[in-house]
Amino acid sequence: MTHLYPPSPPLPDRAHARTLLRHMVLVRRFEEKCAELYTREKIRGFLHLYIGEEAVAAGSVPVLGPDDSVVGTYREHGQALVRGVPATTVMAEMFGKVEGCARGRGGSMHIFDAGTRFFGGNAIVGGGLPIAVGLALAARREGSAHRGSDGTRVTACYFGDGAAAEGEFHESMNLAALWDLPVLFCCENNFYAMGTPIEISHSETDLALRAASYGMPAWTVDGMDVLAVEDATRRAVEAMRGGGGPHFLEFRTYRFRAHSMFDPELYRAKEEVEKWKKRDPITLLADRMREGGMLDDDGMEEVEAEVRAEVEEAVRFAEAGTWEPVEDLTRFVYSEQDGDDGEAA
Amino acid sequence: MMAEITYREALNQALAEEMDRDDSVFLMGEEVAEYDGAYKVSKGLLERFDDRRVVDTPISELGFAGLGVGAAMVGLRPVIEFMTFNFSLLALDQVINSAAKMLYMSGGQISVPIVFRGPTGAALQLSAQHSQAAHTWYVHAPGVKVVAPATPADAKGLLKAAIRDGDPVAVMEGELLYNLKGEVPDGDHVVPLGKAEVKREGSDVSLITHGAPVHLALQAAAKLEKEGVDVEVLDLRSIRPLDVDAILETVRKTNRAVYLEEGWPFVGVGTQIISVIQEEAFDHLDAPVLRVTQADIPMPYAKNLEQLAKPSADRVVEACNRVLYRS
């Protein structure tokens, strides 16, 4: 990493720092449990773990309000959990149970929760970007009565560095900037598009620079430092609420695990992974909290115990869940409208 | 009361009436606002509504189709105009992977009430990339509905029904039909999705089709009438949902069928119709069901080759004669 970040922001108060820490630990332990359950064949399909990148979700998602929207990718467990989609229903979704947040129709890659305005779980690389721009267009229409005030609703759209090579990236950035729509583009640059290093994917590897070319503010952020993530997100969201149009945040981060459970990781050196692990986002924050007298071993264990209980409860909930009745196989291909049984076509 | 208007005016009326009725409806696409639409379907709408309801886009089919999907996911009712469905192939990821699957993969939480509309089908000497039928690309995916109006009345009624529907609907307009005049019932004329219509009653052979070739079918039927053959022309109007009952009814009546379409033959709409007929009405058939389609080639530019590539009334007559064992 040659990029120079601004100095990390100061520690917030203890309660807030603990919330950031707890969110990151929740995502980490939840996903470690997912990996274990995958090997036990409780979870199947593709499973893309976020481990290493937790600071991005923990630092950015809580900055959003309940009327804002979130669009994720197939690596979206972190954003979903921090957004407040219950760990129970996320886990049940991965088990394929009807109690899952998408009734077991989507699995790991398609977490949806209309109640928290969590709009996927979009597993085609780049596919979520135009959807986010559309959500922002709708939000601006709904909020038109108080446009330009703090009423502006923000749509946060998460995607990886790989998506920046897609045509959808260009089209979405152009449309959002052209129409001044309040989309927060959150690029999680983990330096690999699956197994392809960013240097081999992009003619210009400074993704914030590319975003700036569309005429929107774009900043590079240390994605391993949850305080830096939060600070940048806050500044962007504040500007957007004031009518500042779309913003782009490039969070430089790293995934510690393989791309998916089927990835033997032959494309990167163990030393590189180990080097990044020294900047583990959980350790970075915990160390600063310890230095600031906000955390000790007991305090850390308390966080771990709370999270352990939440993850255990999620697994219990998913285990106790039921399979969707087979009669419902064709339900929701079409909507159930006007007395239609939804299967007319 | 009926008024005689063009297919283009019928579509324009449908858009205006639905936008009047429901503030969540808006039209978005290339050249739809200031330019009044490449085919003038949206003429006058910008003036009548405003630039929030009639939205010009850059040449960004994938982008604005996906943008429409996002807006529909939270309750707006976008009508996405593709200048032609040829260009919509760039947008298919959002149509198939997002619009069609969203309701199912979200476990019934998030519906996508969106309309994709524009011209499609064979044109006149526009060659391979601008002269083709797009129906099959769309109709293959569960979650999408597809309609193909052949008359001004159906154009108005089906577009209105599509805009009111809760799911993605592709309204495939006939590129060469915009100037076609026909009677359209006054008032709130809505044609329900999934209802075929017998455009000509007959007893000897069923000629089944959708979209612009309905007119070719009627021409062929008129020719055959002179030879003493009584053709029934069934216009599907909707391909999804498919009016299976209407197909079976006409086949059980005539015991012979020909499917006519302007798309390619390989896994075309006709293959699905033939499958339905052989599964459900095999014992009623007195002859194999035949198809008349575009030739299995990209559309050529040269006039003589183009004529050979397109279905013609003569080829329809020949196919009807064959299933009647008259040739």
Q: Where are the alpha helices (DSSP H) in B231-268?
A: 244-254
Return the CA Rg of chain A.
20
pLDDT at A150: 54
* Residue B220: CB atoms within 10 Å: 29
Give Cα B230 to chain centroid, integer Å.
26
- Distance, in Å, from the CA atom of B240 to the CA atom of A342, rounded to the nearest integer, reads 13
Question: Do the domains B2-185 and B197-323 sit in the same CATH topology, yes or no?
Answer: yes
Domains recognised in chain A with CATH numbers:
2-328 (3.40.50.970)
Instruction: Give the 3-state secondary structure of B216-234.
Output: HHHHHHHHHHHCCCCEEEE
Question: Which amino acid would we find at residue B320?
Answer: C
Under DSSP, the state recorded for A84 is T
* End-to-end Cα separation, chain B, in angstroms: 44
Q: Widest CA span of chain A, in angstroms?
A: 64
Global pTM reads: 0.95
Q: Is B135 a catalytic residue?
A: no
Kindly name the residue from B17, B61, B232, B261 that is annotated as catalytic.
Answer: B61
pLDDT at A142: 76
- Distance, in Å, from the CA atom of A86 to the CA atom of A302, rounded to the nearest integer, reads 20
Q: Widest CA span of chain B, in angstroms?
A: 59
* End-to-end Cα separation, chain A, in angstroms: 54
What is the least distance, in Å, from the CA of B151 to any CA of chain A? 23
> Which of B70, B75, B109 minimises the CB distance to A131?
B70
Angle between helix axes B152-164 and B7-21 (nearest 10 degrees) is 30
- Distance, in Å, from the CA atom of A254 to the CA atom of A280, rounded to the nearest integer, reads 9
Under DSSP, the state recorded for A324 is P
- Distance, in Å, from the CA atom of B109 to the CA atom of A106, rounded to the nearest integer, reads 12
Element (H, E) at A250: strand A247-252
What is the least distance, in Å, from the CA of B145 to any CA of chain A? 8
What is the least distance, in Å, from the CA of B37 to any CA of chain A? 20
Residue A313's Cβ-count burial label (10 Å; 0-12, 13-18, 19+) is: middle
- % of chain B beyond a pLDDT of 70: 100
Residue B200, φ and ψ in degrees, nearest 5: -155, 125
Q: Following DSSP, what letter does each residue of A179-206 receive, concatenated?
A: TT--EEEEEEE-SEETTEEHHHH-SS--
Mind listing the pLDDT tens digit for each residue in B56-77?
999 999 999 999 999 999 999 9
- State which CATH number among 3.10.20.30, 3.40.50.920, 3.40.50.10860, 3.10.150.10 fits the domain covering B197-323: 3.40.50.920
Residue A58's Cβ-count burial label (10 Å; 0-12, 13-18, 19+) is: buried
Q: Is B61 a catalytic residue?
A: yes
- Distance, in Å, from the CA atom of B282 to the CA atom of B194, rounded to the nearest integer, reads 23
In CATH, which superfamily holds the domain spanning B2-185? Thiamin diphosphate (ThDP)-binding fold, Pyr/PP domains (3.40.50.970)
Yes or no: say if B49 and B12 are a contact pair by the CB < 8 Å rule.
Answer: no
Within the 300-329 window of chain A, which residues sit less than 8 Å (CB to CB) from chain B?
none
| One pLDDT digit (tens) per residue for chain A, 345 residues | 445 688 899 999 999 999 999 999 999 999 999 999 999 999 999 999 999 999 999 999 999 999 999 999 999 999 999 999 999 999 999 999 999 999 999 999 999 999 999 999 999 999 999 999 999 999 988 765 444 445 689 999 999 999 999 999 999 999 999 999 999 999 999 999 999 999 999 999 999 999 999 999 999 999 999 999 999 999 999 999 999 999 999 999 999 999 888 888 999 999 999 999 999 999 999 999 999 999 999 999 999 999 999 999 999 999 999 999 999 999 999 999 754 444 444
ipTM field: 0.95
Domain positions in chain B are 2-185, 197-323
Token pair recorded at residue B135: 């129906």
Task: Check CB contact of A214 with chain B, cutoff 8 Å.
Answer: no
Contact yes or no for A138 and B103 at CB 8 A: no
